[in-house]
Amino acid sequence: MKTSLVILAAGIGSRFGGGVKQIAPVGPNGEIIIDYSIHDALEVGFDKVVFVIRRDIEKDFREVVGNKTEKLCEVEYVFQDKTDLPYTPVCAADRRKPWGTTHALYSCRNVVKEPFLIINADDYGMCNAANTAVAELFEGGYLKSATIMMPCPTAADAVEFSKAHPEHAIGIHLTMTSEWGKYRWKPLTNGKSLIDEEGYMWHESDQVEKNASYEDLEREARAQIDQAHAWGMKPSHVDNHMGSLYGIESGRFELLNLTLDIAGEEGLPFRFPGTFVPEMFSNATLDVKIDTNLIFAFFKREFRR
Q: Please report, for the chain, the start and end positions of each structural domain, with discontinuous segments joined by +.
A: 1-116
Q: How far apart are CA 279 and CA 35, in angstroms?
A: 15
Q: Which of 73, 32, 80 is CA-nearest to residue 56?
A: 80
Asked if residue 247 lies in contact with residue 240, where contact means CB atoms within 8 angstroms, the answer is no
For position 50, what pLDDT does the model report? Answer: 92
For position 185, what pLDDT does the model report? Answer: 96
Q: How many CB atoms lie within 10 A of CB 273?
A: 8
For position 24, what pLDDT does the model report? Answer: 74
Q: DSSP letters along 179-195, please?
A: --SSS----SS--GGGB
Q: What is the pLDDT along the chain (305 residues), one digit of tens a residue?
A: 788 988 877 765 544 445 566 677 767 888 887 888 888 889 889 999 999 888 888 898 898 889 999 999 999 999 988 778 776 655 555 556 656 666 777 888 899 888 887 656 678 888 888 898 888 888 877 677 899 999 999 999 999 999 999 988 899 999 999 988 889 999 999 999 999 999 999 999 889 999 999 999 999 999 999 999 999 999 999 999 988 998 877 888 899 999 999 999 999 999 876 555 555 555 554 445 556 665 666 555 544 44
For position 254, what pLDDT does the model report? Answer: 92
- Alpha-carbon torsion angle 52, 56, 57, 63, nearest 10: 110
For position 199, what pLDDT does the model report? Answer: 96
Distances (CA, A) of 174 to 59, 164, 219, 247, 304: 37, 22, 12, 14, 25
Structural class in CATH, domain 1-116:
alpha beta
Query: DSSP assignment, residue 240?
Result: E
Q: How far apart are CA 5 and CA 238, in angstroms?
A: 25
For position 92, what pLDDT does the model report? Answer: 53
For position 15, what pLDDT does the model report? Answer: 46
- Alpha-carbon torsion angle 216, 221, 226, 231, nearest 10: 120
Q: How far apart are CA 252 and CA 256, in angstroms?
A: 8
Q: According to DSSP H, which parts of the chain are helical?
A: 33-43, 58-61, 67-69, 101-107, 128-139, 155-164, 205-211, 214-230, 254-266, 292-304
Helix H or strand E encompassing 238: strand 238-240
Asked if residue 3 lies in contact with residue 116, where contact means CB atoms within 8 angstroms, the answer is yes
For position 11, what pLDDT does the model report? Answer: 65
Q: Which residues contact 12 (CB under 8 A, 6 or more apart)?
A: 54, 96, 97, 98
Q: According to DSSP H, which parts of 51-168 are helical?
A: 58-61, 67-69, 101-107, 128-139, 155-164
